[in-house]
Each structure stands twice: as C-alpha cells, then as structure tokens.
C-alpha cells in the first residue's frame, strides 16, 4: 500500500491506495482500490493503542458527526489515550472505492460492473489499511448495525490483532426481517426509470427511488410507539400528515448525500452476512471469539431486536450484554449516546485495570 495523502490534523481525512490488487471473497480482483479514513489521537510507540470504529450503512468515517457523545477526552473513545481510526467501508460513496468510483480501465463509474462484496471483504480491506498505518494490535474494535457486523468479523478474522470488541445493535447473521426491509428498499430504487440497471447518469440519478428507499428505512430504524407519540394523526397546514412530512424530508435530504448504487451494494452485502458461514454455523463460530466482548442492545429496536444480541451473548464465552433504554428504535444507538458512552467507557476501564493487575 502507498499513502497518497499525508497525515493531517486530528480528524482530517486521509486517502490510502493499494499498490497491488485486492482479491474479493468471490475471487473477483479489484485494481487501484482506495480507502478514505479519519483518525484522532496519536499512535503510541508500542503501536498498540489503536481503536477501530466501524460506521453504519449510510454513515461515514467522520465519527464526530454521528457519535460525538462517544468521542473526546474522558469519553469511551479518548484521543488523549487512543489512536482512533474510522474508514469508509468498501462499496461506500464517501471516498472508498465503490460503484460510483471511476474505473481506470473504462473512464466511467463502475455502476452495474461493480462486483458483489461481503462484510468480510470490508474487514479484510480495513486490515490492509491497519497494516499500512503500522498498527500492531488494537485495543478495541467498535461499531453499530453494519458496523457491529464488521466488528464481529474483526474478532473472527484477526483474533491475534484485536484485544476487545464492542458490537452494538447487531446480529450474528442478517435476519429474514432485515433482508425483507432491504429488498423492499432496493425494489423502490429499481422501479425508478432513472436507475437504468445501475448504470445511471450522475446528472440524472434515481432520486425518487432512493428517496422512497430512505423513507422505508426510517420506518425500520424507528419504533411505532415513537411515531404515534411524536406525530399521531396531526397534519400540517397543507393537509399533509406530520408522519408523511417526516419521511418525505428524510428522503429528500438523503438523495443529496448518498448514491443509489452504494445503497444497493451495501444492503446486498448486509443480507449475505453470516458469521457462521464456512465456520460450522453461528454457535460454533461465536464460541471461537476469545477476546472480551461488550454487546449493546436497544430495547425498542425492531430491526435487530434484543433477542439477536442475547443470542450472541449466549454463545460468545467472554461476553457482557447491556441494554439501552430508548423509545427511538434501532436509531437509539445513535441517540442515547450518554448511556452508551457510559457502558463502553466502563467496559474499557475495567479491561485496562485487569491488564495492569496482570502485568503487576
């Protein structure tokens, strides 16, 4: 790997390009893969104080924008102690190679030619980045939702590098309910005539389809009780129900920051996620995780209910399971950051004390 952008100030973006080919789990080869990432803090002399943060489906490497309650001095992700790294995942549209990237061989976006990818592909690319940075081991890997999937895979793929993990609002494999939601959202994108099989024009992307997909996603990310108490049957002055207005707003703002092709690529990758694939099934695979694990649930999560994390806790030997109380559904892991920060900070502080006692 060769680094293109020099390290900038804390939180500034970096771009790293692979000097050689990247082979996907499918066997497909990608050339010239780039990774865009952010960092906070400094790597210590032992090169072992790194914390990798994994973002969710439509998130980015800028942790400050979506987990500010966990990032900062004295918090769970402390740049005065940790070297914090967050990379945009493979397939994203925030700088890391994805379907909207210009393919060198054709001079056009990959579009429909971008290959099928998996969560393991995303983690393997992150490992290439970590090696390039010079990190020897990681104090912790943490993430929620899709980020939680990556976090579990980190512990399974690289057990000699990861010393602890925190998986939030995630499951051992993508549940049928979540697969159904993702398929409905993709069908909305496919139904937009501007989709053009994934080879759409950047001047005329499938905006209506992507907005509809986002509106559907918001229903899965929230809780029906919150909608009822927040909106009820109230209408705006123009007669539009406030619940309708909320969904329309999220759809309209989303199309200005995300690519339909990345949305399709990443949701397909999530659908194939299964820690037990090729490992003898989920219980056997999870039993092989030997590092300390903190699992966090949201009690109102309809997409990845508490039962999913309870399953993880039953099968991972050194797992702790905590539950965030929130009316906000799946998105509670992005909203109840004070509670989540306290859980994660306590978990990491106890691990730190145990290490010191063992050394002493």
pLDDT at 357: 54
The answer on pLDDT for 346 being more than 60 is yes
Question: In terms of domains, do 10 and 135 share one?
Answer: yes
Over residues 126-144, the mean pLDDT reads 97
Q: How far is it, in rounded angstroms, from Cα 73 to Cα 82?
A: 10
Number of domains composing the chain:
2
Catalytic residue among 301, 326, 328, 331: 301
pLDDT at 2: 39
Question: In terms of domains, do 67 and 162 share one?
Answer: yes
pLDDT at 356: 56
Question: In terms of domains, do 302 and 266 share one?
Answer: no
The answer to which of 257-261, 295-299, 355-359 has the lowest mean pLDDT is 355-359
**Rounded to the nearest 5°, which phi and psi values hold at 17?**
-120, 135
pTM of structure: 0.94
Over residues 243-261, the mean pLDDT reads 97
User: Rounded to whole angstroms, what are the CA distances from 7 to 16, 18, 68, 149?
Assistant: 10, 17, 22, 28
Q: What is the CATH number of the domain that holds 231?
A: 1.10.1740.110
Over residues 86-110, the mean pLDDT reads 95
Question: In terms of domains, do 113 and 142 share one?
Answer: yes
DSSP 86-126: EEPPTT-SSSSS-TTSEETTTTEE-GGGSPP--HHHHHHHH
Question: In terms of domains, do 256 and 297 share one?
Answer: no
Question: In terms of domains, do 31 and 82 share one?
Answer: yes
Range of the domain at 93: 2-175+274-359
Question: In terms of domains, do 253 and 304 share one?
Answer: no
Question: In terms of domains, do 182 and 138 share one?
Answer: no
pLDDT at 3: 37
Q: How far is it, in rounded angstroms, from Cα 258 to Cα 191?
A: 18
Reported as a single tens digit per residue, the pLDDT across 273-321 is 999 999 999 999 999 999 999 999 999 999 999 999 999 999 999 999 9
pLDDT at 105: 86
CB 297 within 8 A of CB 169: yes
pLDDT at 13: 86
Active site residue 301: yes
Catalytic residue among 38, 78, 330, 339: 330
Q: How confident is the model at residue 85 (pLDDT cuts 50, 70, 90)?
A: very high
pLDDT at 12: 65
Higher pLDDT, 7 or 315: 315
The answer on pLDDT for 92 being more than 90 is yes
Helix axes 207-221, 242-254, angle to 10 degrees: 120
The answer on pLDDT for 4 being more than 80 is no
The answer on pLDDT for 266 being more than 50 is yes
Average confidence score pLDDT of the chain: 94
The answer on pLDDT for 155 being more than 70 is yes
Catalytic residue among 39, 60, 92, 145: 145
The answer to which of 47-51, 329-333, 350-354 has the lowest mean pLDDT is 350-354
In angstroms, how far is CA 286 from the centroid of its own chain? Answer: 20
Question: In terms of domains, do 335 and 195 share one?
Answer: no
């Amino acid at each position: 790997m060769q680094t293109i952008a020099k390290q900038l100030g804390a939180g500034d973006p970096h771009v790293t390009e692979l000097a050689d080919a990247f082979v996907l789990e499918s066997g497909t080869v990608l050339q010239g893969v780039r990774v865009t990432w952010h960092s906070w803090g400094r790597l210590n002399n032992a090169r072992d104080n790194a914390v990798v943060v994994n973002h969710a489906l439509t998130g980015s490497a800028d942790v400050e924008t979506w987990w500010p309650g966990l990032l900062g001095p004295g918090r769970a992700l402390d740049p005065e102690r940790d070297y914090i790294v967050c990379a945009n995942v493979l397939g994203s549209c925030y700088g890391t190679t994805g379907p909207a990237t210009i393919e060198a061989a054709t001079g056009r976006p990959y579009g429909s030619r971008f290959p099928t990818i998996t969560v393991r592909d995303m983690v393997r690319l992150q490992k290439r980045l970590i090696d390039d940075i010079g990190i020897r081991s990681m104090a912790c890997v943490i993430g929620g939702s899709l980020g939680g999937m990556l976090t579990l895979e980190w512990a399974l793929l690289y057990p000699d590098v990861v010393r602890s993990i925190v998986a939030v609002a995630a499951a051992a494999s993508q549940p049928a309910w979540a697969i159904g939601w993702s398929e409905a959202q993709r069908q909305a994108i496919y139904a937009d005539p501007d989709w053009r099989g994934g080879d759409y024009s950047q001047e005329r992307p499938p905006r209506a389809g992507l907005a509809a997909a986002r509106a559907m996603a918001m229903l899965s990310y929230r809780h029906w009780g919150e909608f009822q108490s927040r909106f009820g049957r109230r209408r705006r002055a123009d007669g539009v129900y406030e619940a309708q207005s909320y969904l329309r707003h999220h759809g309209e703002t989303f199309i200005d920051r995300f690519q339909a092709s990345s949305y399709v690529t990443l949701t397909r990758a999530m659908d194939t996620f299964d820690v037990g694939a090729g490992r003898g099934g989920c219980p056997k695979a999870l039993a092989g995780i030997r590092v300390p694990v903190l699992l966090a649930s949201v009690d109102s999560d309809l997409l990845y209910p508490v039962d999913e994390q309870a399953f993880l806790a039953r099968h991972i030997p050194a797992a702790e399971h905590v539950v965030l109380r929130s009316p906000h559904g799946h998105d509670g892991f992005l909203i109840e950051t004070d509670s989540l920060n306290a859980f994660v900070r306590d978990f990491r502080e106890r691990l730190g004390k145990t290490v010191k006692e063992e050394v002493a």
